[in-house]
Amino acid sequence: MPNDLPVRARGVIAFIVAGTGAGARVLLLKRRTPPVGAWCPVSGRIEPGETAWRTALREIGEETGLTDGTLYTTGVTDSFYDPAANTIEMMPVFLFTIPREEAVTLDEAQSDYAWLAVDAALAQLTFAGHKAALEAIRRDFIQRAPDPLQRITP
């Protein structure tokens, strides 16, 4: 057995933000499935033949019912150690923007949701990697206009 610690990129993370500037609101989901009780952004596994950004759009639709918005690549990648698999998991972080808060239709993996101001979302998020990603999103997308080169056009 090799000594290397495998690095895998099998999933994505997608933050959903309604509005801009000081009035921006972040959607967080409370997990019903592992990690049970964690407050997180949208996340999911990449299916065979699927690009990461298409996975983000699919998971946003499945987990929230939201389909009309603008998708960006943030330039941020979350990583964490999975002790069960003894791997480092890396996940690109996407941003899905909508003009204002909308009603959310949760799937079976989520038990609750909340639209929160950025500081409240940072306090509510369970994982450090998600907090770091949201800080970058605040700096690069909420407090200023996004760079058009980061927009993904399906």
Give the pLDDT mean for 10-22: 97
- Whats the size of the chain, residue-wise? 154
Q: How confident is the model at residue 35 (pLDDT cuts 50, 70, 90)?
A: confident
Q: Is 154 exposed, middle or buried (0-12, 13-18, 19+ CB in 10 A)?
A: exposed
Is the distance from CB of 9 to CB of 37 less than 8 angstroms? no
Whole-prediction pTM? 0.94
| High-pLDDT (> 70) share of the chain, % | 99
Kindly write down the DSSP assignment for every residue of 7-31, as one continuous string: EE--EEEEEEEES-GGG-EEEEEEE
The CATH number of the domain covering residues in 9-146: 3.90.79.10
Is the distance from CB of 66 to CB of 98 less than 8 angstroms? yes
Chain mean pLDDT for the chain: 95
Is the distance from CB of 151 to CB of 71 less than 8 angstroms? yes
pLDDT of residue 144: 94
